[in-house]
Amino acid sequence: MGLEAIYTQKQIKVLKEAVTTDWRMMINHGAKRSGKTVIDNDLFLMELRRVRKNATEFGVKTPMYILGGYSSKSIQNNILQELSNKYGFNFKFDKHNSFTLFGVKVVQTFTGSIAGLGAIRGMTAWGAYINEASLANKEVFVEINDRCSAPGARIICDTNPDNPNHFLKKNYIDNHDPEARIMANHFRLDDNAQFLPAEYIQSQKAATPSGMLYDRSIEGLWVNGEGVVYADFDERSMVEDHIDLPADTTVYCGVDWGYEHKGTIVVLADDGTGNTILLEERTAQHKEIDYWVDQAKQVQRKYGRRIPMYADSARPEHVARFDEEGINVFYADKSKLSGIEEVAKLMKTGRFFVSRDGLVDLENRDHNGYFFDEIYQYIWDEKTGEPVKQNDDVMDAIRYAIYTQHHPSAVVETFKID
């Protein structure tokens, strides 16, 4: 069986570079589902065998190797389970979550927070594999690099793109100093066309929102956004004066607290056919928590006492008050770019709608709320790669609600009502 039967052309190129070139760090970066982690997982196994051989030459009985990932779950899902499925490995972990493979002790460290330093500080590593490297805490990433000081130590990284000013891009991928010995390989979704169904690739291209999200997810580019965030929102086709809901509709809310800036409760519905509808927006400024409790109870009376409300965690005392008042409140998952992508995909695929008669400025009933004011002013900050943080209260509440409802495992904490 030739390499072409098990690897894409891009993966074969990377594999050949790995075995014929002198390198210290290899960073495979680019689009989602483009084949980066598949080749890196196999390179990881190859590196462990190489490390075992090197360590034997230096008389080291138990060489140590760092396996880094954002969290325990991400390492398990992206690396260990994939290797178990593919090759039948049965990893046996010690009390520190380390395991031995090919005579090399593999030490896991979680790069998502500074706490990851604890697992590796002081050790001499013979190499490292860092999954989802752009999500790594910078200090942890640098420490992993520093720990890899044994003879011939090498570091493998894979990552999706991020802000072009990200330390991984500026300090490593764009570092062309021959002394640094860094190899960087860029992957596009189309690079994996050999192993992905054509209809999947076309669907991903059609459903991924225009602009930055498309360039990152499909083309694998390190870019920031320009212009409006929700470039695919079309008022002509997505807004109706009134929308009647079918019987099997799921209704839920997003809550963004405010005082000096606006507070808002938005009511959304999933209609059972993949559409999401913005039913109501209740927005006001300079209102105390008693006011918002009253608004939430009005929503309960209209849609049912158990309607879930996904609230901003910035004001835990307000969330607790909702709970005390018998409101079915949850902390929302506030993942910014993932949440924006979830909302933007609905718009890109024509599955987001707005019922105009439900948009209310609670202080001026002649004003159709703030949704339309905000969506056309909700723009990317070209320096940070995130939306400009102003006039975004309704946008935030919509994001909290849709992302948390559509990703139930993302709920940070729930409040149970007796």
**CATH number reported for the structural domain that contains residue 89 in this entry:** 3.40.50.300
Supply the range of the domain harboring residue 79.
3-192
User: 217 in a domain, yes or no?
Assistant: no
Q: DSSP readout, 207-268?
A: HSPTTHHHHHHTT-------SBS-TT--HHHHEES--PPPTT-EEEEEEE--SSSPEEEEEE
Q: Are 25 and 182 in contact, with CB atoms under 8 Å apart?
A: yes
Q: Give the pLDDT confidence score for residue 363 in this predicted structure.
A: 73
| Domain stops at, among 192, 221, 243 | 192
Q: Give the pLDDT confidence score for residue 1 in this predicted structure.
A: 65
| Domain stops at, among 163, 192, 221 | 192
Note whether 122 and 61 are same-domain residues: yes
Tens-level pLDDT at each residue, the chain (418 residues): 688 899 999 999 999 999 999 999 999 999 999 999 999 999 999 999 999 999 999 999 999 999 999 999 999 999 999 999 999 999 999 999 999 999 999 999 999 999 999 999 999 999 999 999 999 999 999 999 999 999 999 999 999 999 898 999 999 999 999 999 999 999 999 999 999 999 999 999 999 998 889 999 999 999 888 889 999 999 999 999 999 887 889 999 999 999 999 999 999 999 989 999 999 999 999 999 999 999 999 999 999 999 999 999 999 999 999 999 999 999 999 999 999 999 999 999 999 999 999 998 777 766 678 999 999 889 998 888 899 988 899 999 999 999 999 998 645 444 433 3
Q: Give the pLDDT confidence score for residue 418 in this predicted structure.
A: 31
Query: How far is 416 from 408, CA to CA, in rounded Å?
Result: 16
**Could you give the maximum distance between any two Cα atoms of the chain, in Å?**
81
State phi, psi for 142 to the nearest 5 degrees: -65, -40
Closest listed residue to residue 80, CA positions, set 71, 70, 90: 90
Q: What is the CATH number of the domain that holds 300?
A: 3.30.420.280
Q: Give the pLDDT confidence score for residue 415 in this predicted structure.
A: 40
Query: How far is 187 from 238, CA to CA, in rounded Å?
Result: 35
User: 224 in a domain, yes or no?
Assistant: no
Q: Give the pLDDT confidence score for residue 366 in this predicted structure.
A: 62
Note whether 162 and 14 are same-domain residues: yes
Q: Give the pLDDT confidence score for residue 248 in this predicted structure.
A: 84
Helix (H) or strand (E) holding 367: none
Q: Give the pLDDT confidence score for residue 414 in this predicted structure.
A: 41
Q: Give the pLDDT confidence score for residue 227 in this predicted structure.
A: 84
Note whether 138 and 249 are same-domain residues: no
Name the pTM for this structure.
0.77
User: 203 in a domain, yes or no?
Assistant: no
Q: DSSP readout, 28-91?
A: EEESTTSSHHHHHHHHHHHHHHHHHHHHHHTT-SS-EEEEEESSHHHHIIIIIHHHHHHH----
| Domain stops at, among 170, 192, 214 | 192
Residue 302 is encoded by which pair of tokens? Answer: 């209209």
Note whether 260 and 138 are same-domain residues: no
Note whether 266 and 158 are same-domain residues: no
Instruction: Give every CB contact of residue 357 below 8 A, 6+ residues apart in sequence.
Output: 241, 242
User: 163 in a domain, yes or no?
Assistant: yes
Note whether 86 and 140 are same-domain residues: yes
Note whether 155 and 240 are same-domain residues: no
User: 218 in a domain, yes or no?
Assistant: no
Q: Are 134 and 162 in contact, with CB atoms under 8 Å apart?
A: yes
Strand 99-101 and strand 104-110: the pairing is: antiparallel
Answer left, alpha or beta for residue 240, where phi above 0 means left and psi between -120 and 50 means alpha. Answer: beta
Note whether 188 and 239 are same-domain residues: no
Residue 17 is encoded by which pair of tokens? Answer: 């570079």
Query: How far is 248 from 338, CA to CA, in rounded Å?
Result: 27
The count of domains in the chain is 2
Half-sphere exposure of 124 (CA within 13 A, CB side): 9
User: 89 in a domain, yes or no?
Assistant: yes
Residue 67 is encoded by which pair of tokens? Answer: 């396996």
Residue 8 is encoded by which pair of tokens? Answer: 């894409």
Positive or negative, the CA dihedral 195, 203, 10, 53 is: negative
Q: Are 348 and 238 in contact, with CB atoms under 8 Å apart?
A: no
- Partners of 309 in the β-ladder: 253, 329
